[in-house]
């Protein structure tokens, strides 16, 4: 009797939406990766149909419909990008039983750009693999990775464990460095590149953005954190130098973390920046000093943001005549305390002081006093 009822229900009901799993499961894939797709449906007797679209060959913005042009699923299958430019693969699937279709399930897979054979050069040797180039720098206990191509790093790509410079080849285009957020394992200098990485976590190491770096246009800020996404420590005074590009520079880590360090941030050249002593919810256990040079565009300053804290001293030193934001400017020592830190205008231009002194609020000490 129960079996008959179940059979009647199966006949009447629309098939359940299939499940779609991929292996390996990643946020993004290397260009040459192959990904296995597995489909399943809990409805007895249902058949699954699927489609695969590639962003490099897709016409228009409409994806294929598995209920109309789908291939019948008979078992796990592999997909890849098959294009050195990278892109996306879109997998969609639906189940059918007795002419009734389920809803459509979808999975988008992102593949990084591939690189040419001599994409990386370390000490005169060419490498096509980022990991091989990093291994060469590690083996030499430091060095330079020269880029001969645009590079898109994935979440699995790691930076060297030793001090390293990444730059474009002499006389070449500023090649683009893009991809997933990066965490430093040693001091890092970026030179003569086009920067397009959402976040760098310096993780207690020194970080230098040289004066010939350009930042690619982006909807969101490029953020440089002195700390990390976990608790971090600097061995000595940690130095962050930004001499070009458009960045948000934060002297703490991100999230509910503690960064134990004295942090010295120097901003100069043609840089355009927003500066913060500690990010929301994070703690900087140490002192932080910001040096803002003549000609810099300073769009915002917040010593302490909501819910974060700096246990040591905060100093903002202005030199010459930086450019301040012309509308709704925020230059505040703390949102948590009525007064905090030091604003040092000793080396600022007299006209800058007259025009802008009152825009800086909440500092416990202002130099000079008048």
- If you search the block for the tokens 């790093």, which residue do you land on? 153
The answer to whether residues 90 and 196 belong to one domain is no
Express each pLDDT in 312-360 by its tens digit.
999 999 999 999 998 888 999 999 899 999 999 999 999 999 999 999 9
**In CATH, what number is assigned to the domain containing residue 97?**
2.60.40.10
Average pLDDT, the chain: 93
Contact 180, 155 (CB under 8 A): yes
For residue 255, tell me if it sits in a domain. Answer: yes
The answer to whether residues 210 and 320 belong to one domain is yes
Q: Does pTM top 0.75 for this prediction?
A: yes
C-alpha to C-alpha distance for 57 and 346, rounded to whole angstroms: 60
The answer to whether residues 290 and 202 belong to one domain is yes
Helical (H) or strand (E) element with 138: helix 130-139
The answer to whether residues 98 and 243 belong to one domain is no
The answer to whether residues 251 and 355 belong to one domain is yes
- If you search the block for the tokens 């898109």, which residue do you land on? 152
For residue 139, tell me if it sits in a domain. Answer: no
Q: Would you place residue 3 in the very low, low, confident or very high pLDDT band (cuts 50, 70, 90)?
A: low
* Contacting residues for 139 by C-beta, under 8 A, at least 6 apart: none
Last residue of a domain, one of 111, 144, 168: 111
Decide if pLDDT at 370 tops 80: no
Q: Which domain holds residue 71?
A: 15-111
Cα-based angle 291, 357, 248 (whole degrees, multiple of 5): 40
Express each pLDDT in 241-261 by its tens digit.
999 999 999 999 999 999 999
- The length of the chain is 370
Strand spans (E) along 148-216? 151-153, 164-168, 176-179, 182-183, 188-191, 194-197, 199-201, 207-209, 214-215
* Contacting residues for 65 by C-beta, under 8 A, at least 6 apart: 51, 92, 104
Q: What total of structural domains would you count in the chain?
A: 2
For residue 152, tell me if it sits in a domain. Answer: no
Last residue of a domain, one of 78, 111, 144: 111
Decide if pLDDT at 269 tops 70: yes
Decide if pLDDT at 5 tops 50: no
For residue 328, tell me if it sits in a domain. Answer: yes
């Amino acid at each position: 009797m129960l079996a008959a009822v179940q059979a009647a229900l199966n006949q009447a009901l629309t098939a359940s939406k299939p499940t779609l799993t991929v292996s390996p499961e990643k946020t993004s894939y290397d260009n040459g990766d192959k990904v296995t797709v597995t489909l399943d449906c809990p409805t007895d007797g249902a058949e699954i149909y699927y489609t695969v679209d590639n962003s490099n060959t897709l016409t228009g913005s409409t994806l294929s419909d598995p209920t109309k042009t789908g291939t019948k699923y008979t078992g796990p299958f592999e997909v890849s990008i098959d294009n050195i430019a990278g892109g996306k693969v879109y997998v969609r699937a639906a189940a059918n039983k007795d002419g009734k279709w389920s809803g459509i399930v979808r999975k988008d897979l992102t593949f990084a750009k591939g690189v040419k054979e001599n994409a990386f050069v370390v000490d005169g040797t060419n490498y096509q693999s980022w990991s091989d180039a990093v291994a060469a720098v590690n083996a030499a206990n430091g060095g330079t990775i020269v880029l001969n191509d645009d590079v898109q790093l994935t979440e699995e790509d790691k930076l060297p464990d030793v001090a390293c410079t990444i730059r474009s080849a002499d006389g070449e285009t500023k090649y683009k460095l893009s991809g997933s957020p990066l965490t430093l394992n040693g001091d890092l200098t970026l030179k003569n590149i086009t920067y397009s990485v959402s976040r760098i976590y310096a993780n207690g190491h020194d970080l230098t953005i040289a004066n010939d770096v350009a930042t690619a246009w982006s909807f969101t800020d490029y953020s440089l954190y002195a700390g990390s996404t976990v608790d971090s420590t600097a061995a000595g005074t940690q130095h962050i130098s930004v001499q070009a590009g458009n960045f948000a520079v934060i002297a703490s880590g991100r999230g509910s973390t503690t960064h134990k360090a004295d942090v010295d941030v120097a901003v100069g050249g043609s840089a355009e920046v927003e500066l913060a002593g500690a990010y929301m919810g994070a703690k900087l256990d140490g002192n932080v000093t910001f040096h803002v040079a003549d000609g810099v565009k300073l769009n915002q300053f917040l010593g302490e943001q909501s819910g974060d804290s700096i246990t040591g001293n905060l100093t903002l030193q202005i030199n010459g005549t930086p450019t301040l934001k012309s509308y709704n400017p925020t230059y505040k020592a703390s949102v948590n305390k009525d007064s905090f830190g030091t604003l040092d205008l000793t080396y600022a231009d007299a006209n800058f002081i007259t025009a802008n002194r009152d825009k800086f609020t909440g500092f416990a000490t202002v130099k000079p006093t008048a």
